[in-house]
Amino acid sequence: MKSHLPGHPMQIYLIRHGEVEEKYHKVFGGSRIDMALSPRGLKMGEAAAEWLKDTKLDALYASPMLRVQQTLAPLAAQRGLEPQILTGLREMDFGDWTGNRWDEVQTKFGMSAFDWLEIIESNGLPNGENIESLKARVRESMLQIIHAHPHGKVAVYCHGGIIRVILALLLEVPLAHLAHFNIEYGSISLVELLPDRKHAVEIELLNFQPPIMQAS
């Protein structure tokens, strides 16, 4: 990945969609279930937009899935920005795990859902997305974004799994290593590309959840 990065600095804000509707909590939805946000998830979208209100952004990119589109709506309205939809940013396909709760995966498939990144990386998901095709589509999307905005700042709204793939690609580490870091609903992470430094990719912010404003 690094060998294909351009020779200019930029900042990338990675925003995970907000909390999904309650019936899908702790359920593997992936790309096959186009779920909506919960009321709290909608507030998370508003909180992210509020936190980013003074940040100059050159563009807004997003997954096509409903939960992402609902999360970015407040920021898009605030800025008058039209989100550029990239299908390569859709959530990963969890195959036969889709629709199952985390605690059901052990019973039905004899696997621990907590090892999901390791299982995905070893292509262990029954009928799930191939790891190489997953990385390839995410890599293509990110290189498109990066090359389009020299010296710029962009917001990328997508999914917890995809943010982990992005970070693994940029840092050139195995996807399973990202299990050490949470990417919560509605969180913002900031990556800086600094080609003049030995470590060209730096994580400036990780998994920050902007506070939700309480109604007075």
CATH number at residue 59: 3.40.50.1240
Residue 205 counted as domain residue: no
8 A C-beta contact, residue 127 and residue 98: no
- Please indicate, yes or no, if residue 203 is contained in any of the structural domains: no
- On whether residue 135 sits in a domain, the answer given is yes
Count of domains observed in the chain: 1
Helices 131-148, 160-171: axis angle to 10 degrees equals 80
Residues 6+ apart with CB under 8 A from 4: 143
Residue 90 lies in a domain: yes
Cβ contact 49:78 at 8 Å: yes
Domain span at 48 = 2-188
Q: Flag whether 144 is in a domain.
A: yes
pLDDT, one tens digit for every residue, the chain (216 residues):
777 788 889 999 999 999 999 999 999 999 999 999 999 999 999 999 999 999 999 999 999 999 999 999 999 999 999 999 999 999 999 999 999 999 999 999 999 999 999 999 999 999 999 999 999 999 999 999 999 999 999 999 999 999 999 999 999 999 999 999 999 999 999 999 998 877 889 999 999 999 998 654
Distances (CA, A) of 170 to 25, 64, 165: 29, 22, 9
Question: Does 129 map to a domain?
Answer: yes
